[in-house]
Structure formats: structure tokens, C-alpha cells
Structure 1
Amino acid sequence: MKTTGLNRQLVIWMSAVTGIALAAMVLGITLFYAVAFYLNPGWLLSVCPDQIAAREGTGLPWSALWPGALEWSVFFVLWGIGTVGAIAAAVRFARRLIRPLDAVGTAARKIAGGDLTARAVPDGPMFEETGQLVDDFNAMARQLGQSEADMRAWNVAIAHELRTPLTILRGRLQGVVDGIFTPDEVSLRGLIAQVDSLTRIVEDLKVLTLAQSGRLELRLDTVDLADEVRSVASFVAPHLKDAGIELHCDLGSVHVQADGARVRQALLAILENARRYAAPCNLHVETRATSENGILRISDSGPGLPSGAENLVFEPFWRADDSRSRANGGSGLGLAVVRAIAEAHGGSAVVHQVDPNGTCFEVHLPRAAPPHTQRKSIPTRSRTPIETVP
């Protein structure tokens, strides 16, 4: 076993404690009998009359009650045996204590050197506390490795998403410079569309990064989800209709504590996702409430999600059909932004399949009491449309 400073300290202190305990015992017993005889000789005579009589018959002084050479020899032998036993116990204890600590230290140095696959693997038995330390360290190391892998995947995905619009921009602009293309209104609008795509990707990345670091700025106020939906539906309905989507709204007044601009951003992201991947279909937008949360529900009658995709749709850059998604121009960040906004409000975003086909997204936000009114419960499952946006 590798000898460490902690190991030496354990051996020294265990030996010292054993010696001190034995010396205290010997001195304590001796002083006890000496003081007892000084204060009450008759009590000592009654306790050990034979020894007292023998000493009186020989004329020995009462100081002869102190341990003699043989007795001190026995004491030192006992002290030696106790010390050896203490050292053996200290070494065994140190082995079980230091092995996991040494394994953790070795793995930590490897991780610091860049080897994120290093793990603490001590040999032999461990105490429960040090075993828990090893497990926690290995869990942290796995999380660190996963974070590093996720960061690399993010970098690759971001580079891939930015490359297409940048390549188109550069090719078109170079064509204009070389005189191959004439800068007319159609080509310029196409270039602006590519710039808009880049702007959207950058803005989505900014929101995700701020949300993950807990620094997404929210201007919280009491807002009505129904009003926010109406403001968005009034200008997106024509674009959805052009894509073959009929938008139906069933809105009940639901007051939540939220940032209205972020709520509209999340709703737009879900509607844009439906336009790209669910058209043609009927799209229903509802606002409902429970006793604690306001619910923004968007359901479509499109093709739905692949089996098991419910836990993946909010992951950045995830696509059910990679080639189709890229053809439609999606960056794979929109729904991740929806979840980030919901969680930044202390809420959540969920998705589930709709029978027989289709997808239903729900954004849950903390509810707030309506100003100057008494809070009322609003049904949560009714789907009878009360308003249709043409």
C-alpha cells in the first residue's frame, strides 16, 4: 500500500492514544490507592488486609504500596502489546480509508489532464461514506463527460445550421460581384430570407443559452393568455391558411404571471412547427386553467410524431425526419426554445399524441389572480370551438 501522510498520522495518533490511555490507567490506579490510604488507612486495611499485614510484618514503609520493578515491567509489556495492536488496527483502518481517496485523487488528476473517461476504481472494501464519495465522484465525472460530448454535438449542429444560409449568401453575392446574377428584387428578397434565417438561429441560440444559465430576462406581469393568442392569431392565420392550415381558437380568459413577449414567442414557435411539418391540417388553439396553472394548448390533425418521440421533441436540433426538416428550413431549435421559456417561468412544456392522429402541445404557466376579479375555475378538456380565425 502506498504510504501517505494521512496513513502515518493515523498510525502515530493511534499509538499515542494507546500509550496515553495505558499510562493514565496505571497512574490513576496508583494515585487512587495512595490518596485513599492517606485519607483513610483503615479503609485500605479493610480492602486488602493480607497485603497490609504482610507489609507491616516486614517493616516496609507504606511507599512500598507503589508498583515495583516487576509490576512496571508488566505495565510496559502491556503497553507494547497495546501499541502493536493499535498500529495494526490503524494500518487496517487507513487502508480502507485511503484506498478510495487515492483512487478519487488519481482519477481527478486524469480528468484535469483532459481524460474525461477516467473513473475512481478502488480495490478492496470501503467504508460506506467513502464508497458514497467514490460513487458521487464517478457520477460527476460521467456528467462532465456527457456535458463535453453535448457541447461538441452542439458545436457541430450549430456549424451545420449556419453553413447553409451562409453558403447561399456567399454564392449569390459572389455571383453578383462576378456579373453572373443581376441584383433584382426577387434575388434580393431571397438574400433577405437567408439573413432572416440566420437571425432566427442566433436569437434561438441566445434564448437557449440564457435559459440554461438561468439568466433569461423576463418582464413578469399579469397577462391574459387569451389576449396573447388573439394578438398572434390575427396576423399568422393568413400565412397558415396559405399552407393549408385552418386555425380554430377556443379561448377562455386565463390570467398568468408571465412575460407576454416570451409567451407570444413560444406560441409562434409551435405554430411555425405546425406549418412546416403538419400541413395541411386543422389546428386548434385553446386556453384553459387548473387551480395552479394556465394552459396554452395547441393541437393539430397532422401526421403526428414517431413512437417514443415525446421525450425528444424539445431537445435542440432533434428532427423526426432530418432530410424533410432541412428541406423545410427548420433549425431544430424552435421547440427547445418553447421548453426553455416555459421552464424559465417556473412552468413546463409537454407533448402527446392525439387519436387517431395528430399532436398536442401544452405550455403550463403559473397562474395569477385576475385584477379586481375573483378567480374562477375554467374547464380543462372542452374542445368545442367558440371562435374561428379565418
Structure 2
Amino acid sequence: MRDLLRGRFARRLALAFAALGIGAALLTALLVNTAFNARFDDYLGAQQRTQQQQLVGWFAADYVREDGWNPATLNQLAPTVTMTGSEVELLDPAGRRVWSLADADVDAATLAMHREMMGTGDLGPPRSVPIAVDGQQVGTLQARVPQGVIPAVDRDFRSDVNQLLIAGGLAAGLVALAVGLFTARRATAPIAELTHAAKDLAAGQRDRRVTTIPDNEIGQLACAFNTMADRVEKEDELRRLFASDVAHELRTPLAILRSELEAVQDGVREPTPKVIASLHDETLRLGRLIADLETLASADAAAFTLERRPLSLASVVRDTITSLAGRFSEAGITLRTDVTDVTVDGDPVRLRQIVTNQLTNTLKFVPRGGTVTITLHRDDGWAELRVADTGPGIPAEDLPKIFDRFFRSRTARADGSGIGLAVAAELATAHSGTITATSTPGDGTTFTTRIPARSKEPAHP
């Protein structure tokens, strides 16, 4: 099917080339013949004007010789005029008829015979030519002179030119057809491969790529296709990993619940309050995991569900710190703040979630007696939030993974789903911002969140 479609397109393109070549030759032939005809018409017109002026000269000479119009002497001009094959009629200045060939007994048949003998062609249209003597019009000659004929040499030349143009047009068509086939095959080869690759990708071959990449617009399309295919393959891999991670996270509490319940059913264990409390803890763990998954799905769609409005990010940060102050106090961690007022366009609930996830993350790593410092400042059009801690830091091999879903560092003090920072990163992106982390093992970690700041602060935060 691919070769069939490619062949059809190549044939259409080649035929278009051939039609263009033949059309150009035909247009050239038309223009050349038009130019020839115009030149021949000018040539024949010049011949007729010459004959008309010759007739006028003969009649003007007779007028001067006779000092006026004399029908008797005009009859003597009749044989000379007859030899030209022309029809003439002489009028005086008042427009009255003075003389014609009929007065000399010369009829139309005689004139036609002379034209045939001389090969001068048919009569042209009538013309009125003034006759002037000493600058004064003495009469008008109404004459129809032969149109003349195109010389045989000129006719042969035009015929030869037309034959050459026809032959050139056919040759140009054949050359254009060959060039068209060659060009079409070269042009359609990457298109055909791109079409086949797209079908293979749609059929599930995620590793399918375009290998023929010409240096033109089709090459740019091929590069865009390969980029798209890379992203599709990566997204498929992420989906598989996500499903695997979810299954892993759900398997552990479900396995515990199943083993405990089967032990109770088999009489191995008694349904004591301790066993029931353990089962209850596992159900709570499942509930938290499901809630985290819902949060992650909500973060994926946050760009479409954010309820943005101008708000003071400083107020959001202060409220979040206040709500978590008790947990930090119980953990023996000191909170320090340096917050200045910055206004952003954002969803207050989602922004608070970003701050909460970062602060609760520090609770998992910062030891008792440690310190967490929260700063908020405006920096070159951005609201920059920093959360710096004095924890053990993040190993270099773990640092690129901390925003991945379900990733948990081995140094974490508390159990968790590994979703918090991934959600924070998704929500920051939904607000057209970023979140990054820097860390040196033994010197703590600093998370930096940047959200676009508004150019003007509201009157009431």
C-alpha cells in the first residue's frame, strides 16, 4: 500500500512536470506565431500602402499634365491600373464621381484575372486616399488594392519554426517527465517513510523512528515526529512505572491485612484489641495512600482546575507555618522566618499545598535540635520562596530523583508515599513556576520555589 501510494503521487508529480514542459512549449509556439502574424500583417499593409501611393502618384501626374481632370487621358491610365489588379474610383474635392475603371470598359473579371496571373492575392478593404498637388487637395482616390501574399520563404520559415517548437515541446515533455519521476521519487521517499513510521507508532511500535531526514521542511517534520515518538515512549514508560509503583505501594498493606485476617480465621491469632488496632492502622495507611494518589491526579490536572486570583503569598506562607508549628515543636525543630509581602496570581489552596509539602518533608529528615529557615522575597519579577534546613542533606545520587513519584530516600525518618515533592513540583509548574533543590551531604538542603509575581501589589492582601 505504501509503494502504491508513493507510485501514484510520483506519477502525478511527474505528469505535472511533463504538462508544465509541454505547456511552456505550446505557449512559446503561440507567442512566436502571434509575433510572426503581426510582422507579416505589417509587411502586407506596407505593400498595400505602397501600391496606393503609386496609384495616387499616377493620377496626380495626370492632373498636373492636363491641368485638371481629363477623362480621356484617365482612360489611358486604365491598362496600367489594371495590371496592378486594383479597383479605383476618382472623386473631385466635392465628392462627385469623376472617373473609374468601368468608364474604360475594365470589368471585375479582368481585374481578377490579372491578380491571379500576378499572384498578388485578393483585394483588401477599400481606402480613401487624398490626391494633392502643390499642397492643395484636388481629388480623392477610392482604391482597393490586392492584399499581397506572404513570400514562400517566409511561409517555409514559419513552418520550420513551428515544427521545431513542436519537436522541442515533445522533447521538453519527455525530459520533464523523466526529471519529474526522479524528483518525485526523491521527494516522496521521506514522506512515505514518515507515513509508514506514523502507522507503526499508532500500531504500538513505540521504538519506531524516521531515519531519512532531508535538509528541508520534510526533514523538520521528520525531526518533529521523532521528538513526538520519544515523548510518547517516555510517557508509556512513566505510565508503566507509575502502575508498578502503585501496585507495590498497595501490595504491602493488603498483604498485611490478608495475613492477619487469615490468621484470625484459622485460629492462629485471637482478634485482640492489639490485632484489631494493627488492622485499623493498615486500613488508615491504605486510605492515606489513596488520598495521595488522588492528590497526585489532581496535581496533574491543576493547570485546568486552578482558581487563580491576586493574593499575598506571604499570607499563605505565614498561615501554613502557623498550622504546622505544633508538629515542628513536637519534633524539636526550630522554625525561622524572613518573609516579605509579594503578590502573585494563584490558587490559595494549591499554593498552601506547595508550602505544606515542603515543610512536612523536612520533618522526615531534620533531626531533633535542627533548624528550618523559610524566606520569601521578590526577585526580578518572581516570588522566590526558600525552605532551607540543617538536615543530613541528600546524597548526590538521590538528588535528581527527589521530585519523582513514589521516590523515598533511605535516610527518611518517617514512612510516606513518596508523592509530596512530586505534587509540589506539579503544582508549581501549573502556576507557571519552578521548584528546585540544592544539597550538600552533611550541610542540609535548600528548596527554592519561584512563582511569577504581579507587577502591582493589591491594596488589601
State the structure with more CA Rg. Answer: 2
Q: CA deviation at 1:36?
A: 3.2
Corresponding residue of 1:200 = 288
- In structure 2, the CA distance between the partners of 1:196 and 1:113, relative to structure 1 (3 Å rule), is same
Q: Secondary structure at the match of 1:219?
A: coil
Per-residue CA shift, 1:281-319, capped at 9, x if unaligned?
222223323353333321111111222654432222234
* Alpha-carbon distance in structure 1 between the residues aligned to 2:253 and 2:322: 30
Superposed, which structure 2 residues align to 1:137-286 within 5 Å? Answer: 137-178=225-266, 180-184=269-273, 187-213=275-301, 215-280=303-368, 281-286=370-375
Specify whether residues 251 and 31 from structure 1 end up closer, same or farther in structure 2 by C-alpha distance, changes over 3 A only. closer
1:293 is aligned to: 382
- Asked if 1:314 corresponds to 2:422, the answer is no
Equivalent position to 1:61, from 113, 124, 149: 149
1:182 maps to a residue whose letter is P
**Residues 372-387 of structure 1 mapped to structure 2, 5 A cutoff:** 372=459
Does residue 338 in structure 1 map to residue 428 in structure 2?
A: no
CA positional deviation for 1:201: 3.1
How many Å separate the matches in 2 of 1:347 and 1:127?
36
Residue deviations 1:205-228, cap 9 Å, x none?
A: 334334434555223344444433
SS state at 1:256 partner = strand
Q: Aligned runs of 1:46-85 on 2, under 5 Å?
A: 61-62=149-150, 64=152, 65-66=154-155, 70-85=160-175
Q: Distance in 1 between matches of 2:388 and 2:275?
A: 36
Q: Which amino acid aligns with 1:11?
A: A
* Residue in 1 that maps onto 2:197: 107
CA deviation after TM superposition for structure 1 residue 72, in Å: 4.1
C-alpha RMSD over aligned residues? 3.3
Whether the 8 Å CA contact 1:36–1:44 is kept in 2: the answer is no
Residue 97 of structure 1 aligns to a residue whose secondary structure is helix
Larger mean CA deviation between 11-20 and 311-320 belongs to 311-320
- Indicate how the Cα distance of structure 1 residues 173 and 80 shifts in structure 2: closer, same or farther if over 3 A, else same: same
3-state SS, counterpart of residue 93 of structure 1 = helix
Residues 1:73 and 1:32: Cα distance change in structure 2 (over 3 Å) = closer
SS of residue paired to 2:231? helix
Q: Is the 2:375–2:387 Cα contact (8 Å) retained in structure 1?
A: yes
- The aligned runs of 1:16-27 (5 Å cut-off) are 16-27=19-30
Q: Once the 2 structures are TM-superposed, how far is the Cα of residue 90 of structure 1 from its aligned partner?
A: 0.7
Superposition TM-score, scaled by structure 2 size: 0.68
Matched, 1:365 2:455: no
Q: Is the 1:297–1:361 Cα contact (8 Å) retained in structure 2? A: yes
Which moves more between the two structures, 192-201 or 156-165? Answer: 192-201
1:86-97 matches, cutoff 5 A: 86-97=176-187
Determine the C-alpha separation between the residues in 2 that align with 1:182 and 1:283: 44
CA drift at 1:337: 0.5
User: What is the rounded CA distance, in whole Å, between the counterparts of 2:252 and 2:46 in structure 1?
Assistant: 104
Where 1:362 maps in the other structure, the secondary structure is strand
Q: For residues 177-199 of structure 1, give each alpha carbon's deviation from its aligned partner in whole angstroms, at most 9, with x where no partner exists.
A: 55524352x55554444344333
Q: Which runs of 5+ in 1 are unaligned?
A: 46-56, 376-390
Aligned-partner residue type, residue 365 of structure 1: I
User: Does the Cα contact within 8 Å between 1:223 and 1:258 map onto a contact in 2?
Assistant: yes
Q: How far off is 1:254 after superposition?
A: 3.6
Render the CA deviation track for 1:128-173: whole Å, top value 9, x for unaligned: 1222222221221122111111111111111112222222333344
1:58-84 deviations in Å (ceiling 9; x for gaps)? 979328545566444433332232122
Aligned length: 357
Q: Please state how far the C-alpha of 1:40 moved relative to its aligned partner.
A: 5.5
What SS does the corresponding residue of 1:328 show, helix, strand or coil?
coil
Deviations along 1:113-137, whole A, 9 cap, x unmatched?
2111112223xx8451222222221
- The separation in 2 between residues aligned to 1:283 and 1:128, in whole angstroms, is 55
